[in-house]
């Protein structure tokens, strides 16, 4: 599959100006003017609703099992949110929206515990879409697929509770399902050529222009928050 | 989740005996795992109660870290441990929620008294 993907485009191409080329509204008038397509539309809508609903419920079930606080998601709220989000997204020409196992797993692994993780995720995604499409375009599809496969495998491992065979089955099926509905594979490294000098210059520019207090603040935010344990007379860390 | 403010502050400093004094700089969702790992290194003998004193000497404590400090394993529900937050009065919550994001109101670095 990798060799098959190597003959295709290896990364997504996001438009440089998101507002100029990135938003395409649906052509409802043309769709409603073709009665012969009504049945196909209906089948597509029902299929997507069933797939999204099933995947959403499976995702929240898996995420609930790895929630450090053992909280339980409400399936009714999840399905309602999925319906409202998908309706709004479809009216604007967007894709379907469902709970993401990859995002939730990543958030938990890096310490996210509350709904603020969703907010931070949305903010960072918006920032990258608006200001860093060049970086997104350099990410090979294989890397996206690897992330999806890894997190999907984690979810599959969480879902399975009856032994290794079920885990193996889920593990084998996960790349198939992901490759069917998300993306195709491509080789890693094609876009690495020719960008080394620019990257070095960019890093050097950042290093010289960023004030020193920014580094201290980042160190405090990402470093070990424990200054010490004890009052200096006993255990010191 | 709505939590009463007094649920976060358990006990008082005066009634604690030989507490584990844990001085903390800023805690956010980005370094919470390191705090958790550091707290897990504290070994409390079985059958004995431990008193924890979390001394907030950083600049910010986000909602995630506040909720962690509220529901972490050092909560007294497990083994009768007690835990107090010291210095939280120096921080301003960004909402009415008891576990809201908090920013230091004291100019300079609170780590000075740590």
The ipTM, to two decimals, is 0.74
CB contact burial A77-99 (16+ within 10 A = b; e otherwise)? ebbeebeebbeeeeeeeeebbbb
Burial class (CB in 10 A: 0-12, 13-18, 19+), B29: buried
DSSP H or E stretch at residue B70 = helix B63-71
Query: For residue A137, which of A211, A88, A190 has the smallest C-alpha distance?
Result: A190
Which pLDDT does position A7 carry in this prediction?
A: 45
Q: Which of B22, B50, B57, B108 to mutate to test the interface with A (most CBs of A within 10 A)?
A: B22
Predicted confidence (pLDDT) at residue A229 exceeds the cutoff of 50: yes
In contact, A221 and B26? CB cutoff 8 Å: yes
Which pLDDT does position A148 carry in this prediction?
A: 58
Q: How many CB pairs under 8 A join A and B?
A: 80
Is B110 in CB contact (< 8 Å) with chain A? Answer: no
In contact, A25 and A94? CB cutoff 8 Å: no
Residue A210 to residue A214: CA distance in whole angstroms:
7
Across the interface, of B24, B30, B64, the residue whose CB is closest to A227 is B24
Q: Where are the alpha helices (DSSP H) in chain A?
A: 2-6, 18-21, 28-32, 38-66, 75-91, 101-109, 116-131, 133-137, 141-159, 164-181, 196-209, 212-222
Contacts of A110 in chain B (CB under 8 A): 29-30, 33
Predicted confidence (pLDDT) at residue A6 exceeds the cutoff of 70: no
Contact criterion met (CB < 8 Å) for A113 and B32? yes
When mean pLDDT is compared over A19-23, A43-47, A181-185, B17-21, the highest value belongs to: A43-47
Q: Which residue of B has its CA nearest to A115?
A: B64
Q: What pLDDT digit, counting tens, does each position of A11-30 carry?
A: 667 777 777 777 778 888 88
Contacts of B35 in chain A (CB under 8 A): 224-226
Query: A65-74, B9-18, B63-72: lowest mean pLDDT where?
Result: B9-18
Contacts of A227 in chain B (CB under 8 A): 23-25, 57, 111, 114
The mean pLDDT value of chain B amounts to 74
B21 falls in which pLDDT band (50, 70, 90)?
confident
- In chain A, the N- to C-terminal Cα span, in Å, equals 51
Query: A178-187, B11-20, B40-49: lowest mean pLDDT where?
Result: A178-187
Of A199 and B46, the one with more pLDDT = B46
Which pLDDT does position A175 carry in this prediction?
A: 42
Query: What order do you get walking across the sheet with B20-24 strand by strand?
Result: A226-229, B20-24, B51-56, B82-86
Across the interface, of A223, A229, A237, the residue whose CB is closest to B31 is A223
Mean pLDDT of B53-74: 82
Q: What pLDDT digit, counting tens, does each position of A81-96 carry?
A: 999 999 998 888 888 8
CA-based nearest distance B64→chain A, Å:
6
Which pLDDT does position A80 carry in this prediction?
A: 93
Q: What are the residues whose beta carbons fall under 8 Å from the beta carbon of B38, sequence distance 6 or more?
A: A224, A225, A226, A229, A237
A79 falls in which pLDDT band (50, 70, 90)?
very high
Q: Find the farthest-apart pair of alpha carbons in chain B and give their distance in angstroms, rounded.
A: 43
CB contact burial B55-64 (16+ within 10 A = b; e otherwise)? bbbbbbbbbb
CB contact burial B101-111 (16+ within 10 A = b; e otherwise)? bbebeeeeebb
In contact, A140 and A188? CB cutoff 8 Å: yes
Q: What pLDDT digit, counting tens, does each position of A112-169 carry?
A: 888 888 888 889 888 988 888 888 877 777 776 666 555 554 444 444 444 444 444 4
Which pLDDT does position B107 carry in this prediction?
A: 67
The secondary structure of A182-222 as a DSSP string is T-----SSGGGTT-HHHHHHHHHHHHHHS-HHHHHHHHHHH
The mean pLDDT value of chain A amounts to 70
CA angle B38, B41, B47 (to 5 degrees): 130
Q: What pLDDT digit, counting tens, does each position of A157-167 carry?
A: 444 444 444 44
Which pLDDT does position A17 carry in this prediction?
A: 73
Assigned token pair, A191: 């876009």
Residue A102 to residue B36: CA distance in whole angstroms:
23
Contact criterion met (CB < 8 Å) for A224 and B34? yes
Which pLDDT does position A162 carry in this prediction?
A: 41
DSSP state of A36: G
Q: Which residue of A has its CA nearest to B22?
A: A229
């Amino acid at each position: 599959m990798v060799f098959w993907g190597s003959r295709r485009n290896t990364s997504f191409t996001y438009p440089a100006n998101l507002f100029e080329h990135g938003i395409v509204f649906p052509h409802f008038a043309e769709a409603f003017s073709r009665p012969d397509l009504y049945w196909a539309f209906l089948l597509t809508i029902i299929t997507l609703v069933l797939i999204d609903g099933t995947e959403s419920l499976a995702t929240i079930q898996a995420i609930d099992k790895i929630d450090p606080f053992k909280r339980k998601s409400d399936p009714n709220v999840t399905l309602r949110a999925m319906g409202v989000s998908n309706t709004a997204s479809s009216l604007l020409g967007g894709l379907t929206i469902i709970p993401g196992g990859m995002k939730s797993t990543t958030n938990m692994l890096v310490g996210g515990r509350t709904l603020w993780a969703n907010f931070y995720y949305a903010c960072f995604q918006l920032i990258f879409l608006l200001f860093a499409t060049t970086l997104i375009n350099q990410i090979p599809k294989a890397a996206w697929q690897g992330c999806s496969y890894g997190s999907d495998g984690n979810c599959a491992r969480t879902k399975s509770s009856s032994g290794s065979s079920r885990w193996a089955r889920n593990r084998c099926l996960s790349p198939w399902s992901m490759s069917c509905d998300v993306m195709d594979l491509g080789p890693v490294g094609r876009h690495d050529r020719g960008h080394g000098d620019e990257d070095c210059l960019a890093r050097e520019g950042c290093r010289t222009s960023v004030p020193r207090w920014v580094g201290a603040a980042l160190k405090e935010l990402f470093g070990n928050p424990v200054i010490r344990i004890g009052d200096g007379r006993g255990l010191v860390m | 989740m709505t939590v009463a403010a007094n649920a976060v502050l358990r006990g008082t400093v005066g009634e604690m005996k030989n507490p584990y004094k844990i001085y903390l700089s800023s805690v956010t969702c980005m370094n919470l795992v390191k705090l958790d790992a550091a707290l897990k290194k504290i070994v409390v003998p079985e059958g004995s109660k431990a008193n924890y004193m979390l001394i907030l000497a950083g600049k910010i404590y986000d909602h995630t870290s506040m909720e962690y400090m509220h529901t972490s394993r050092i909560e007294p529900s497990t083994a009768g441990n007690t835990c107090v937050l010291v210095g939280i009065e120096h921080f301003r919550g960004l909402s009415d929620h008891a576990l809201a994001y908090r920013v230091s109101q004291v100019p300079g670095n609170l780590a000075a008294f740590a």
